[in-house]
Structure 1
Amino acid sequence: MASNKVIVTIAPTGGMAKKSQNPNLPTQPEEIAESVRRCHDAGASVAALHVRRPDDEATCNADIYRRLNDLVRERCDIVINNSTGGGVDGDMLIERPDGLFDVNFDERMKGLDGGAEMATFDCFTVAAMHGKREMLVSTTPSQCDRLAARFREKGIKPEWEVFSPAHILQDVTRLIAAGCDKPPYYINMVLNADRGFQGAMPYTPDILQSMVRLLPKDSIFCVSAIGTAQLPATTHAILLGGHVRVGLEDNLYYSKGVMATNEMLVERQVRIIRELGFEPATAAEARDMLGLA
C-alpha cells in the first residue's frame, strides 16, 4: 500500500451532542446512513457509528446498530466501526445512590452485536461530566478482558481509543501483548476532551508527538480532536504519518459561528490531505491498511 494514503474516518453522530446544538446532526438510522454515504463519496473510508433511540437519546441497542449498518451497506462500501462507548444519557446510564451515574458496561457490550467489521475499545476508566451530570465510565482490567474475549468471538478488529499516554501504556499495551489483536494495531488518539473527561489530554504539538512515540510496535494511528482543536490536530497527524477522524461527534462548527455538516468537515479534510501531497484512502485501501481485507 502506498505510504501517501490517509484514512479519513467520519464520526457523524457520537453519543453526546443534540440536534438543539446543531440541527445538521444525524441521529436516526436513515439520516445517519445518508450522511455517511455522502461522506464516503467525499473521501471518507471508515464510519465511526453511534446509534440513538427514537427519542434521540443514547443507546448501544444491537437491533438499531444492525439496522443502521444494513442501511449504510446498501449505500456504500465504507468500513463500519461501531461504538462500545455509547453515550451520556438514555440506555447508557445507571443512577447511583451517591448522585453519580455509571455508564452501563453491559449496554456498551451490545455495540459488538451489530455486525460491524470494527468497534471501538476504550480500555480505561474515567470520570466524565456532561452538563451538571457526573458519570463514571468504567472499564476495569477484568472488564477489558471480557470485551477482548467478545471481540475475538465476533471476529471484530478493535479500534483502540485512548485519551492520554497512560491509556496507551496500560491495558492497550497489555492486551496487545496478550494477543488480543493482530497487527497493524489501530490506535485512535482523542485529544482536547479534557474539559469533559478527567485524565484526558489537551491537544498540543508536544503532547501528540509524545503519544505517537509511545505507540506499540506495528501500530498505525488516527487522531481525533474535540472542538477548535480538530483542524490543527488532524493536520498535524497527517504530517506525522497518521490518519484522521472528523465529524459532528467531535466538532459542531466549521468556523466561528458557522454550523458544520459532516460533509463539510470531510470535504475540508480531503482538501488539506491533497494540499499536503497525500491522497484519501478508498474503503478498499483502508481495509488493506487495517488488515481487514
Structure 2
Amino acid sequence: MQSRIILTCAVTGAGDTTARNPNVPVTPRQIADNCIEAAKAGASVAHIHVRDPETGGISHSQDHFREVMERVREADTDIVMNITAGGGGDWVPDTDDPYRGGPGSDIQTPAERHAPVGELLPELCTLDCGSLNFGDSVYINSADWLREHARLVQAAGVKPELECFDLGHVWFARQLQQEGLIDGDPLYQLCLGIPWGAEADTETMLAMRNKLPANAIWAAFGIGRAQMPMVAQAALLGGHARVGLEDNLYLKKGVLARNGELVEKAAGLIENLGARVMTPAETRAHLALREPHTGQTAGGDA
C-alpha cells in the first residue's frame, strides 16, 4: 500500500443518469462548479465529460469543453484536469439493417475524439484501450483506431490514462507501450463492474494489476455499490482510486450523493487505511504532468 494516493472525481459521465440524481451536473458551469467542489473536498484530479445543456444527453461540443476548462482554470482552487477522449464509440445495430447503426449509436473518428484534447491541452486525457459489450450496446475502438488516437495524444504532449475494461485491454495497452506510442511511465485505470467487462471484485482487480508492466502507475474504480469497496481494495493493492457521480449516484443506500460528498467519503476511507490523498501539485510531480497554463513539465516526485 502506498502512503499517498491520487483520488480522481469523475463528475458527470455521459450516461442517462440526470433524471435519477438531480445533483449530476449538466451545463458547462455546473460541471466546472462540480470540479471545483471536488477539489475543495480534497480530490487530486477531475475527470470530465460534457453534456447537452438542453437534454442532459451526450455532447462532444468543443465549446462546452472549453467553457468548463476556462472556468476551472480561472478558479482559485487547483485540480488536475482529465478530459475524456473516449466518447463517440457507441454502436447499436439497427434492427432492420444490422450494417447500420440504430438509435443510440454515436460514432466519432479518432481525430474527432481527440479534437478537444488537442485544442485545450489538459494534463490528462483518457484512452479507452479496446472494444467492449457495454451493457446493451457495443463500444467500438479497433486496434488501428487506438494506434492513431495514441499518436495524436502523444503528439499533443498530454499524458493518456489507459482505461482498461477487461484483461485484453491491458494486453493491448502494453502493446501500445512496446510500439513506442506511450511515453514515460504508463498510467492505467482499471474500470470494474461495467456490464459486460471486468467484474468489480478482488480477484479481477488483482488479475488485471498483475498483468501491468513493471513501471505502471495504476488506479481502479467500481460502479454503483462497488465504488467505495473498490477504493479500499485499490489502495490496499498499491493503486490509486476514483469516485464520482459518473460511476455511482448514492452516498449510501437511499441517499443521493453529491460529488464533494463522495470525495470526502473516499478520502476518509483512505485516511483510515493509513494513507492520504495527494494534492494536485503532488499529483503533477508524481505523474510528470505538464503544469497548467505554462505547458512545462512538473518536477520529479519527492
In the alignment, structure 1 residue 126 sits paired with structure 2 residue 132: yes
Q: Give the structure 2 partner of residue 176 of structure 1.
A: 177
Q: C-alpha deviations, 1:207-236, integer Å up to 9, x for none?
A: 111111111121011111110111111101
Q: Give the structure-1-normalised TM-score.
A: 0.90
Q: Quote the offset at 1:93 in angstroms.
A: 6.9
Q: Give the structure 2 partner of residue 207 of structure 1.
A: 204
Q: Give the structure 2 partner of residue 246 of structure 1.
A: 243
Q: Contact 2:8 / 2:243 at 8 angstroms: preserved in 1?
A: yes
Q: Give the structure 1 partner of residue 63 of structure 2.
A: 63
Unaligned 5+ runs, structure 1? none
Whole-angstrom distance in 1 between the partners of 2:277 and 2:134: 33
Q: Give the structure 1 partner of residue 30 of structure 2.
A: 31
Match of 1:104 among 102, 107, 126: 107
In the alignment, structure 1 residue 116 sits paired with structure 2 residue 122: yes
Q: Give the structure 2 partner of residue 164 of structure 1.
A: 166
- Aligned-partner SS, 1:15: coil
Match for 2:186: what amino acid? Y
Q: Contact 1:93 / 1:102 at 8 angstroms: preserved in 2?
A: yes
Whole-angstrom distance in 2 between the partners of 1:12 and 1:22: 12
Q: Give the structure 1 partner of residue 295 of structure 2.
A: none
Q: Please provide the CA RMSD for this pair.
A: 2.0
Whole-angstrom distance in 2 between the partners of 1:112 and 1:146: 14
Q: Quote the offset at 1:184 in angstroms.
A: 2.0
Q: Quote the offset at 1:161 in angstroms.
A: 0.1
Whole-angstrom distance in 1 between the partners of 2:165 and 2:272: 28
Q: Give the structure 2 partner of residue 13 of structure 1.
A: 12
Whole-angstrom distance in 1 between the partners of 2:91 and 2:65: 18
Q: Contact 2:114 / 2:149 at 8 angstroms: preserved in 1?
A: yes
Q: Contact 2:232 / 2:269 at 8 angstroms: preserved in 1?
A: yes
Deviates more, 1:202-211 or 1:258-267: 202-211
- Aligned-partner SS, 1:77: coil
Q: Quote the offset at 1:182 in angstroms.
A: 2.2
- Aligned-partner SS, 2:26: coil
Match for 1:254: what amino acid? L
Whole-angstrom distance in 1 between the partners of 2:62 and 2:265: 32
Q: Quote the offset at 1:72 in angstroms.
A: 1.0
- Aligned-partner SS, 1:203: coil
Q: C-alpha deviations, 1:49-80, integer Å up to 9, x for none?
A: 10112222212222211111111111232111
Runs ≥4 residues deviating over 3 A: 92-97, 99-103
Q: Give the structure 2 partner of residue 283 of structure 1.
A: 280
Match for 2:66: what amino acid? R
Whole-angstrom distance in 2 between the partners of 1:68 and 1:234: 27
Q: Give the structure 1 partner of residue 86 of structure 2.
A: 85
Whole-angstrom distance in 1 between the partners of 2:267 and 2:18: 26
Q: Contact 1:60 / 1:110 at 8 angstroms: preserved in 2?
A: no
In the alignment, structure 1 residue 259 sits paired with structure 2 residue 256: yes
Q: Contact 1:102 / 1:137 at 8 angstroms: preserved in 2?
A: no
Q: Quote the offset at 1:160 in angstroms.
A: 0.1
Q: C-alpha deviations, 1:231-263, integer Å up to 9, x for none?
A: 111101111111000000000011111101101
- Cα separation, partners in 2 of 1:274 and 1:263, compared to 1, 3 Å: same
Deviates more, 1:236-245 or 1:50-59: 50-59
Q: Give the structure-2-normalised TM-score.
A: 0.87
Unaligned 5+ runs, structure 2? 290-297
Whole-angstrom distance in 2 between the partners of 1:71 and 1:31: 10
Q: Give the structure 1 partner of residue 3 of structure 2.
A: 4
- Aligned-partner SS, 2:11: coil
- Aligned-partner SS, 2:181: coil
Identity of aligned residues (%): 34
Whole-angstrom distance in 1 between the partners of 2:71 and 2:115: 19
Whole-angstrom distance in 2 between the partners of 1:70 and 1:143: 29
- Aligned-partner SS, 1:233: helix
Q: Give the structure 1 partner of residue 269 of structure 2.
A: 272
Q: C-alpha deviations, 1:172-199, integer Å up to 9, x for none?
A: 01111112222321100010112xxx3x
Whole-angstrom distance in 2 between the partners of 1:167 and 1:95: 23
Whole-angstrom distance in 2 between the partners of 1:268 and 1:137: 31
Match for 2:215: what amino acid? D
Match for 1:21: what amino acid? R
